[in-house]
Structure 1
């Protein structure tokens, strides 16, 4: 059983909402959860709306989209400043006692060795249970990054709950 859960999802799955609901539910039950979940509106593409990352440790929301103006032909509005701010929040949370780390996504930036890749590596290195969303189109890059240390989890709440129950058991036995 791996302490690293990769939730592989496709365009029709709402992994962002599932991860947010899962993390909030565990936190409400007393589990020390930290990390980042993505909060989306109607269209999660960042092309037509702002996306935010919620810092699970503080509840603060960080906008990760930038306005490129009406004449821009660049389809990616991911704001490097917002992403850096989110990385700092994640890094600060990793220094605290935690039961679980949740990271919204191993996306395009991470597949290119940028974005939150250093913080994801640091979170894995702590040995704590970690859940991360992985869009199916970046699964190959994720597999190269994770090096087989992960367990693939279907994008379903019951699959995530089953992984958590197994991951939590060794931690409880050590207490």
Structure 2
């Protein structure tokens, strides 16, 4: 089961991430083993750039900063792809006891077969439900990647989707 949130319906990436953080907290509090990577972004006071950080659920290690400071005049991608790969490996290591996987987003790295792609594949191989957010500019590539496996989840239906996704499955 692969559910996805449309940033256009959540109010943007930060809002989607907040919805997923809230869902993860509620499910964890009820005893569900939620694993994955949730993003927070903090805008620096001196410019418009932000520090992107991933919190790895079910892992005792530190949060992973996935952005690089390229300077105030930089216009290129600030993603630290090496840090993202490190985060992906840490998420993979948490999958054996997971009941639900929540990932911050399907982005450019995933389009190129990197980032969290191996994590998504491993979860799907284990029949583990996955929730991910998708920005409008990546929807076509996500649809190509996920095919008929993906189900769009409306923000108001998130709790019901999670309840169905985490129900015990018949063997």
TM-score of the superposition, structure 1-length normalised? Answer: 0.85
Please list every run of 5 or more consecutive structure 2 residues that lacks an aligned counterpart in the other structure: none
Equivalent pairs, count: 165
- Residues 73 and 159 of structure 1, relative CA distance in 2, 3 Å threshold: same
- What SS class does the counterpart of residue 115 from structure 1 fall into? coil
Which residue matches 1:142? 142
Taking the aligned partners of 1:152 and 1:139, their CA distance within structure 2 comes to 11
Taking the aligned partners of 2:115 and 2:37, their CA distance within structure 1 comes to 13
TM-score of the superposition, structure 2-length normalised? Answer: 0.87
- Residues 159 and 42 of structure 1, relative CA distance in 2, 3 Å threshold: farther
Taking the aligned partners of 1:126 and 1:103, their CA distance within structure 2 comes to 16
Please list every run of 5 or more consecutive structure 1 residues that lacks an aligned counterpart in the other structure: none
- What SS class does the counterpart of residue 84 from structure 2 fall into? helix
Taking the aligned partners of 1:148 and 1:62, their CA distance within structure 2 comes to 32
- What SS class does the counterpart of residue 160 from structure 1 fall into? helix
Taking the aligned partners of 2:72 and 2:150, their CA distance within structure 1 comes to 41
Work out whether residues 43 and 51 of structure 2, in 8 Å CA contact, stay in contact via their aligned partners in 1: no
Which residue matches 1:67? 69
Q: For residues 127-170 of structure 1, give each alpha carbon's deviation from its aligned partner in whole angstroms, at most 9, with x where no partner exists.
A: 0111111112211101111121111112x2x311111122233x
Aligned-residue CA RMSD (Å) = 2.1
Which residue matches 1:23? 24
- What SS class does the counterpart of residue 122 from structure 2 fall into? helix
Which residue matches 1:101? 101
